[in-house]
Structure 1
Amino acid sequence: MKAMILAAGKGERLRPLTLHTPKPLVRAAGVPLIEYHVRALAAAGFTELVINHAWLGQQIEDYLGDGSRFGVRIAYSAEGEPLETGGGIFQALPLLGDQPFALINGDVFTDYSFAELRKPLAGLAHLVLVANPGHHVGGDFHLQGDQVSDAQANQVSLTYSGIAVLSPALFADCRPGAFKLAPLLRAAMAAGQVSGEQFSGCWVDVGTHERLADVERLLEARG
């Protein structure tokens, strides 16, 4: 199974750190955020990674190189213009192949075991969900057993963690250009094609200076 790390965001809420550094290379405890993912994916048995990038993306390629020093092979999908999550994945599909692949948001920090993603995919997607954080109390989806649906007003909701397994078939009717991933997931949910799990370990959406500081504290506590 291949894995894709989403690394094309500008990270505007992390300015001025991201004025001259792409968000995935912002450091926590001296290590770029994306390096934690690369090393964790390698430890989980992934050997082929795809990384998309846009803003200052050449810096990401220069830092990670071909991945050999991490024990993986990295291919890059450069976006000349922002393609959003769905469009970015669609552009990278030729690099990902025709089998299900793991998807990791480059701007989350977690101790989730990516080895758990290396399982057969029954439908079109499998999502890792977390308890709603304070900055996203409304949540995203509802988990009933192992099936994910769009959360209704009377249902307990959870937040999509930015960790998933997707089938290329999810993008069968898509066309090149910028588009979001969420509508594709919701259509698949309506067809009963999305499974999920709840993760209760360490997870931080590193979107602000405050949350970056939270990650620093977590790493310091680990020693």
Structure 2
Amino acid sequence: MKAMILAAGKGERMRPLTLHTPKPLVRAGGVPLIEYHLRALAQAGFTEIVINHAWLGQQIEDHLGDGARFGLSIRYSAEGEPLETGGGIFQALPLLGVEPFLVVNGDIWTDYDFSRLRQPLDGLAHLVLVDNPAHHPTGDFLLQGGTVTDEGEAAARLTYSGIAVLHPALFAGCSAGAFKLAPLYRQAMAAGKVSGEHFTGRWVDVGTHERLAEVEALVQGRH
């Protein structure tokens, strides 16, 4: 199974850090955020990684290279203009092949064990959901008996972690350009083709300076 790290975001809420450094290369505990993913993916048995980028993307390529020092093979999908999550994955599909692949947001930090996702995919997507963080109290989707839906009691909603396994068929009928991923998820949910799991370990959406400081504290506490 191949894996894709989404690294095209501009990180505007983390300025001035991200004025001259792409957000995936912002450091927590002295380590660029994206390197935590690369190390975890390698440990989980992944060998082929695709990374998309836009803002200051050449810095990402220059820093990570071909991935050999992580025991990985890295290929890049450069976006001349940001394509949003859906459009970015769609552009990278030729690099990802015809089998299901793992996708993870480059701007999260987690101790999730990616090896759990190296198994057959039943449907079009499998989403990892987490408890709602303070900055997103209303959540995104519901998990009912292993199936993810968009309908039901709002109080029971969980937050999409930015970690998933996707089948390329999820993008059937899409065309090149910028588009969001969530509408594709909801369409697949309506057809009953999205499974999921509830992860209760450590997870931080590193979108602000405060949450970067939270990761710093977690990393220091883990060593």
TM over 0.5: yes
1:1-223 matches, within 5 Å, as: 1-154=1-154, 156-223=156-223
SS of equivalent residue, structure 2 residue 143 = strand
When the two chains are superposed, the root-mean-square deviation of aligned CA atoms in Å is 0.7
**Which moves more between the two structures, 144-153 or 99-108?**
144-153
Q: Percent identity?
A: 76
Q: TM-score, normalised by structure 2?
A: 0.99
CA distance in 2, matches of 1:65, 1:152: 45
User: Structure 1 residues 151, 205: CA separation in 2 closer, same or farther (over 3 Å shift)?
Assistant: farther
Q: TM-score, normalised by structure 1?
A: 0.99
CA distance in 1, matches of 2:200, 2:178: 32
Post-superposition CA distance 1:58-103 (Å, at most 9, x none): 0000000000010000000000001000000000000000000000
- 8 Å Cα contact 1:140/1:151 also seen in 2: no
- 8 Å Cα contact 2:138/2:154 also seen in 1: no
Post-superposition CA distance 1:134-177 (Å, at most 9, x none): 00001000000100000434551000000000000000110000
CA distance in 2, matches of 1:132, 1:12: 23
CA distance in 2, matches of 1:61, 1:154: 41
Count of aligned pairs between the two proteins: 223
Gaps of 5+ in 1: none
Report how far residue 222 of structure 1 moved.
1.1
User: Structure 1 residues 151, 159: CA separation in 2 closer, same or farther (over 3 Å shift)?
Assistant: farther
Gaps of 5+ in 2: none
Post-superposition CA distance 1:177-214 (Å, at most 9, x none): 00000000000000000000000000000000000000
Q: State the one-letter code of the partner of 1:83.
A: L
Q: State the one-letter code of the partner of 1:80.
A: G
- 8 Å Cα contact 1:142/1:155 also seen in 2: no
Provide runs of 4+ in structure 1 moved above 4 Å: none
Q: State the one-letter code of the partner of 2:160.
A: Y
Q: State the one-letter code of the partner of 1:69.
A: R
- 8 Å Cα contact 1:110/1:204 also seen in 2: yes
